A and B are shown apart, each in its own frame.
Chain A
């Protein structure tokens, strides 16, 4: 394998690894506001990588989705979350269920699994950015892990959004993005989801005087 890797592919791989790195950073970050900033940064990197794919392939709908990513994930959603956190007076510290070093170790294991699983699929893919599929899967897994290990409802929403980032990365890297309709639909879903969850935050806080989800354990049947 001595083929020259084109610049665009190198750039995409770079951005993908930055996204992965940011996912790890989010996993390690204890402060909620910083977490949101990291999420915004991840969105911005995602925008850059989509832009590179768009320029390289010249597909116009990828430009649209890049623009969508920029506005939604790099600016709008972080801004909404910032506002929410300020108005809810969430304490800065995030209390994880499992301590952070252990989480990181689990995260590394997950990344290995993801790469292993994604390997045969990447072989089949013909797009320029096929190596990023494993990274995308790893980002999804890490986001999932964050949702599991954190206690605060806000962090879980950030994890949920970060998972969506991973899916989007997988879509652009493996198939040059989803059809525009699907993408618009997902973008709208995410936006509405965050708004509804925002409303829920207020309800949860009113009910339990806290955003800590372990209070909801007593909501189960019997």
Chain B
């Protein structure tokens, strides 16, 4: 269509999402209309957004100025390659989630409690539209408005089942940290406009033009790291993630974990590579260190969780940590003008964003299906669900393989790229970094291995083995809409896994825009089937070959087994090692499975354990793993806030005369102090 620029199309997309949301208010209790008509429409709109962004990759940036906004402060919008990569992510992933949601929201939330479907529809689509506006914003004002809308709409989505006190608490914690982060972002923008002596130009173009001293540049970067880190879940402002994700309905968790966390990564990339206009090497070290700690922390806690959604939430923290590690590495390389390696690390970052968005949404949606089928989210009460729920189980397997960073799926490609980036760090012209960065590579490898452990736990306990509860026999597989959504995201994960060359060629435009150099040439010269970011002699990966090999091996093995053993299989009770009682309860539990990790890394956890004694009438074992950060950071802060509040309470005596006196005395003092 001539004359309709991609940015205009994306604006129409945002309006379409808002309109779909508003349409939900027409019949707020009509679940059928909302689920079967509006959510699929939203998915369609998402696909359009994704395709438009894909098409605009590589073309020059487009800008638009909206008529709305405050007087003299119109909204500036801009679609460049960096935004386009994230809009692509938003569109394609949200499409899968919306399709799934069409099936998921069929039951009105537990007997008519909680938010009405129509209101949910409004919040959901407002959330999508605000995320799109965050990605398109080209001035601090539009960005903050969209950012806060995003935080608020997701807050209401998290508290969908607001009848439960625990869910309200989780929502409050989320909102609190989101606001603390937003303040930091606002301050960062303020610093980048140049502060008091600066231009005061709040548009991103003005910030790019602003010259900052290294000190103020560092302040802006650190504020942005903290502010966006609070949204992404970096240490130490990660605590909301494991609370909010289990509280929210599964499609919302998927959207938050898969897409919303990535908008924070987008913001961090935007500030550190585009707006600040400088790069100091120690910024990279800070980001690298925080990322490593976050990744380690996330993966340790993921392995010991017994609630499936909490496990995934901690796994999200781990993945965000890995992304931060990649950003740190990019900053280090960029600061030393080693742009080829910086491009490699940045590609790993962008690729991991895409990959994580795909597989984590997939896994969250799978937990949603399990939750619907069994009403149970504690791993200890699940098991053997591959029998009644083959669709969910096989698609979850795809997500799990990607999450564990195994080939041939998406997670492997990005983690492999990241490690490749580390392998070249000895070239850094800084002796200290030369020594330390390889250690970081070792930690990343450890994280990847432990992530594999967590994923095995997640999959093995839920889907394999025998059913731990008799009620699980009645579990039903996902409905057609849910299946479609899962297949969409599973396909995305597969596509990202087997066609990395093609995809890197597309997203390379963003790398080029930020660093001035990309990977495209090297990827292109090796052909689309092979991924060799530096040179084929050093390292290369042929995903399709790998996939073909795995498939061939599996088929061959299956054929061999059938050929050799067919007809000779005898089903009988297993040898019970002399134990008489051997039921599903004798299987390894979720707690038991992760016990070695808990033992080895004991100082990492804060545990409360209860062991049964010989005289217990009703013996039980329980373990409660808590976050050290609650006790080290949050509770002291909360106590200090409470203490200050009690001091201030004395002001509130209850007498109106005294209240009036406060304003009266203030007035007189001001008059006397401020007299000319």
Contacts and interface: CB of A to CB of B under 8 A. Distances in A.
Interface in B30-85: none
A47 to B, nearest CB: 27
Contacts of B675: 116-117, 120
A147 interface: yes
Contacts of B668: 110, 113, 141
A148 B661 contact: yes
A97 B657 contact: yes
A60 interface: no
A145 B664 contact: yes
Residue of A145, A148, A220, A221 most packed against chain B (CB within 10 A): A148
B203 to A, nearest CB: 33
Contacts of A216: 654, 656
Contact of B649 (A120, A213, A222): A222
Interface residues of A, number: 24
A219 B652 CA distance: 11
Interface in A197-222: 213-214, 216-222
Interface string A176-188: 0000000000000
A144 B664 CA distance: 7
A117 B676 CA distance: 9
A214 B649 contact: no
Interface string A139-152: 00100110111010
B445 interface: no
Contacts of A144: 660, 663-664, 667
Nearest to A218: B654
From DSSP, what is the main secondary structure of chain B's interface residues? helix
Interface string B657-676: 10011011001100110011
B653 interface: yes
Interface in B619-663: 649, 652-657, 660-661, 663
A50 interface: no
B663 to A, nearest CB: 8
Contacts of B656: 156, 213, 216
A148 B672 contact: no
B649 to A, nearest CB: 7
Given A120-B676, A144-B660, A145-B664, A217 B671 contact: no
Nearest to A213: B656
Contacts of B671: 113, 117
A144 B660 CA distance: 8
B657 A219 contact: no
Contacts of B649: 221-222
Contacts of B661: 148
Size category of the binding interface on chain B: 10 to 19
Contacts of A147: 660
Nearest to B663: A144
A221 B652 contact: yes
Contacts of A117: 671-672, 675
A220 B676 contact: no
Nearest to B675: A117
Nearest to B661: A148
A140 to B, nearest CB: 9
Nearest to A159: B660
Nearest to B652: A220
A216 B664 CA distance: 20
A214 B671 CA distance: 30
B675 to A, nearest CB: 6
A214 B656 CA distance: 8
Contacts of B660: 144, 147-148
A129 B675 CA distance: 21
Interface in B486-530: none
A156 B675 CA distance: 29
Residue of A117, A120, A214, A221 most packed against chain B (CB within 10 A): A117
B653 A217 contact: yes
A151 B655 CA distance: 10
Residue of B653, B660, B667 most packed against chain A (CB within 10 A): B660
Contacts of B676: 120-121
A213 to B, nearest CB: 5
Interface in A97-132: 97, 110, 113, 116-117, 120-121
Nearest to A114: B671
A121 B458 CA distance: 74
A197 B133 CA distance: 44
B654 A149 contact: no
A217 B664 contact: no
A148 B654 contact: no
B87 to A, nearest CB: 45
Given A113-B671, A117-B672, A220 B654 contact: yes
A96 to B, nearest CB: 10
Contacts of A120: 675-676
Contacts of B663: 144
A118 to B, nearest CB: 9
A151 B658 CA distance: 12
B202 to A, nearest CB: 30
Residue of A144, A219, A222 most packed against chain B (CB within 10 A): A144
Contacts of A218: 654
A38 B654 CA distance: 30
A148 B664 contact: yes
Nearest to B670: A117
B37 to A, nearest CB: 45
Nearest to A217: B654
A147 B655 CA distance: 12
Contacts of B652: 220-221
B241 to A, nearest CB: 32
A113 B615 CA distance: 81
Contacts of B655: 214, 217
A148 B653 contact: no
B95 to A, nearest CB: 48
Contact of B657 (A141, A149, A220): A149
Contacts of A221: 649, 652
Nearest to A219: B654
B672 A220 contact: no
Contacts of A214: 655
B489 to A, nearest CB: 48
B443 to A, nearest CB: 49
Contacts of B657: 97, 148-149, 151, 213
B417 to A, nearest CB: 56
Contacts of A220: 652-654
A216 B668 CA distance: 26
A127 B656 CA distance: 38
Interface string B599-624: 00000000000000000000000000
Given A113-B671, A120-B675, A147-B660, 13 more contacts: A97-B657, A113-B672, A144-B660, A144-B664, A148-B660, A213-B656, A216-B656, A217-B653, A217-B654, A217-B655, A218-B654, A220-B654, A222-B649
Interface of A: 97, 110, 113, 116-117, 120-121, 141, 144-145, 147-149, 151, 156, 213-214, 216-222
Across the A-B interface, the 7 shortest Cβ-Cβ residue pairs: A220-B654, A217-B654, A148-B660, A117-B671, A120-B676, A148-B657, A213-B656
14 contacts: A110-B668, A113-B668, A117-B672, A117-B675, A121-B676, A144-B663, A144-B664, A144-B667, A149-B657, A214-B655, A216-B656, A217-B654, A220-B652, A220-B654
Interface of B: 649, 652-657, 660-661, 663-664, 667-668, 671-672, 675-676
